[in-house]
Amino acid sequence: MTFNEIHAHRSFGVGMFYMLKRFVMPYRLQALCGMTGKAVEVIFEVITPYFVMRLIDEGIMGHSFTVCMYYGAWLVAAAGISYGATLICQSVAAQVSVNVACDVRRELFSEISTLPLLSLHKFSTSTLVNRSITDVNQIQLMIALAIRQLIRCPLLAIASIVSALILNWRYGLIFCICIPLVALIFAWAIQRLSRMFTLLQRTLDTLSDHVLQNLELVELVRAYRTQKIEMQRFENDHQHYTQLLEATSRISALLSPVTFGIMNMGIMMLMYVASLRGYALFSMFNISQGTLVALINYMTQTLLAIVYISNLMLVFTKASAASARVMEICTCKDSTSADHALAADALVDASVSTNAQYVLEHVSFTYNPCSCTSTQAAGTKGACLCGVSKDKESTAEEGFALTDITCTIPAHGFIGVVGSVGSGKSTLLALLAQLYAPQKGVIRFGGYDLSQLSSNVCSQNICYVPQTTELLQTSIRDFISLGNDTLTDADINNALKQACAFDFVRSLDKGVDTFVTHGSAQMSGGQKQRLALARAFASRASHILLDDSLSALDALTEQKVAQHLLNRAKQSCVMLVSQQISHVKCADMTLVLDKGHLVGVGTHAELLQSCKVYQELYETQHAYTRE
């Protein structure tokens, strides 16, 4: 059963059941073994009060040492067997719960790694961390308790009630008074807590997200002097979380005292009725001391079992909310998901490689259906992952970042994309790189619908260099050879030379084996950009998509890299986004965008004659250059 099938079940409990069915089934034999051990424990736990009754009535009251030794030996044997069965169950429960949690986390990590950006923007970093750790821990705890208590508690309660009725059905009626009271109280509490636990987790996500934002953007907070505002926001979130946690804790803390109070009242009723057996009116309630002790034990076992059931229901309630939050991530794939990808990757890859041209048919795209909440902070604007800027290209909530784009991009040649700020250049490249899927229209790549191609096919044929360069926390060698393990040292050095990065990499202590730290703080913007370009040069992809990837280079380096890009364009398609017309003057074809619309296609000379937007950009930049 897939996660999409699980998602069809709207009820939290039903959804959790199907998710557990998927992940627990591989360990069903171990789980069954653990539950069997608990069933054995219950059998001897129910027999124990009977042995105690016989020991008191026949041994102690009958002054028979032999009977005392006989039933005492049975009690010791029952305790030993029960202890051994409990050890087996506890060990199995721990192993199964840990293995299931590991499988869920592995699946969750795989789903997060392959989520499309438009879906990924729905979740902040803090909520992904909380769902991967806290929520999965709740599922793990629920599985462990289910193996240990799901069979034991109901079986113990039922067996204790039946045993009490067998011993003396009149006294057993007292059980029928106490148990419904406890059940009603717990039904009310669980109904209240089920909603509160879900709200509590959402509030925790908000609080964690706020803390993470302030830690990551502390310099901006100081620069805009919004410390007091941020402190007040944190105080409000923290106070809301505290109040909700206190309300939840009050209800949870109320359950045990109420249950033990009812249990003690039941025991008092048993003893009080037994004390009246000397009266003629209550002669029907005459019982032995051993039977009274056994009934008290059964009363205690029954109500404690109900307490455990209630605690188990609370854990199940938390796990239901947690599993729903986990499934929300795992069912968030859209049409770019691998579930919809074409199956025969090898055949498709060969077909795409021989006819790797883009055909865009009435393509429109907007960021608005999925708002990015993970990067909002005081004085800042949202920025999508992989360097695709959203704040510039989707300022109007009702508008599209791209509207009705229709064109054909050849499989070879140097292609330029120009336009003013906010015209949709970065968005166009993100669509071509399969980072997003268009809401309207279709993009064909090599004759296939791009959204139907698997990520493996796209990564083999498309190399994308984002506008904001972020290096992985690994060595330079591993970064350049990412997705291409067959690269030799000569290939890596050649790529570094083409990107004009060979000299500064060679000057490092370990050369290409230098480890890049988190955030690559030891490198300048130009150095990071050249390493990203080196990865593109080392790639064997048929299309190289560069999103303003020359912006951090000096003029001399820019000319050298541009010449190498022209050479690469003879054997593949190099597509460069830029605001500077000088970067794309020699392009075989240039696309001109304006406010999300394609307003011109052609060479530099053709666009100067036919495209007004291109003419204005050229005149503005040419005039600035002359000055």
- Are 602 and 620 spatial neighbours (Cβ–Cβ below 8 Å)? no
Please name the helix (run of DSSP H) or strand (run of DSSP E) that holds residue 103, with its range, or none: helix 65-113
DSSP characters for 158-193? HHHHHHHHHH-HHHHHHHHHHHHHHHHHHHHHHHHH
Q: Give mean pLDDT, residues 471-493.
A: 82
Residue 545's pLDDT band, with cuts at 50, 70 and 90, is very high
Task: Map tokens 């992952």 to a residue.
Answer: 385
Determine the angle formed by the axes of helices 489-498 and 525-538, rounding to 10 degrees.
130
What is the C-alpha separation between 466 and 161, in angstroms, rounded?
69
Q: Convert the pLDDT of each residue in 266-285 to its tens digit.
A: 878 877 877 776 554 445 55
In the predicted model, what is the mean pLDDT of residues 369-384? 38
pLDDT tier for residue 472 given thresholds of 50, 70 and 90: confident
Instruction: Report residue 353's pLDDT band, with 50, 70 and 90 as the boundaries.
Output: low
Residue 132 is predicted with a pLDDT of: 87
What's the rounded mean pLDDT across residues 436-459? 84
3-state SS of 447-484 is CEEHHHCCHHHHHHHEEEECCCCCCCCCEHHHHHCCCC
- 9, pLDDT greater than 50: no
Predicted confidence band of residue 87 (pLDDT cuts 50, 70, 90): very high
What mean pLDDT, rounded, does the chain reach? 79
Nearest to 468 by CA among 565, 357, 551, 372: 551
From the list 430, 436, 466, the residue with the least C-alpha distance to 451 is 436
Write down all domains in the chain, each with its CATH number in brackets. Answer: 1-168+319-334 (1.20.1560.10), 170-286 (1.20.1560.10), 358-366+400-470+541-623 (3.40.50.300)
Q: How many residues does the chain have?
A: 627
Q: Is the pLDDT of residue 98 over 90?
A: yes
Query: What pLDDT does 351 receive?
Result: 53
Strand 462-465 and strand 597-602: the pairing is unpaired
- So what's the pLDDT on residue 97? 92
The sheet with strand 413-419 has its strands ordered as: 462-465, 543-547, 573-577, 413-419, 589-594, 597-602
In terms of phi and psi (left: phi > 0; alpha: psi -120 to 50; beta: otherwise), the region of 386 is left
Asked if the model's pLDDT at residue 502 lies above 70, the reply is yes
What is the C-alpha to C-alpha distance for residues 114 and 106, in angstroms, rounded to an integer? 13
Residue 593: per-residue pLDDT: 92
Say if residue 306 is exposed, middle or buried (CB neighbours under 10 Å; 0-12, 13-18, 19+): buried
Contacts of 367 (CB under 8 A, 6+ apart): 118, 384, 390, 393, 394, 401, 427
Q: Are 297 and 55 in contact (CB under 8 A)?
A: no
C-beta of residue 544 within 8 angstroms of C-beta of residue 574 = yes
Residue 2: phi, psi to the nearest 5?
-85, 165
The pLDDT-based confidence of 120 (bands split at 50, 70, 90) is confident
Q: What is the DSSP letter of 550?
A: T
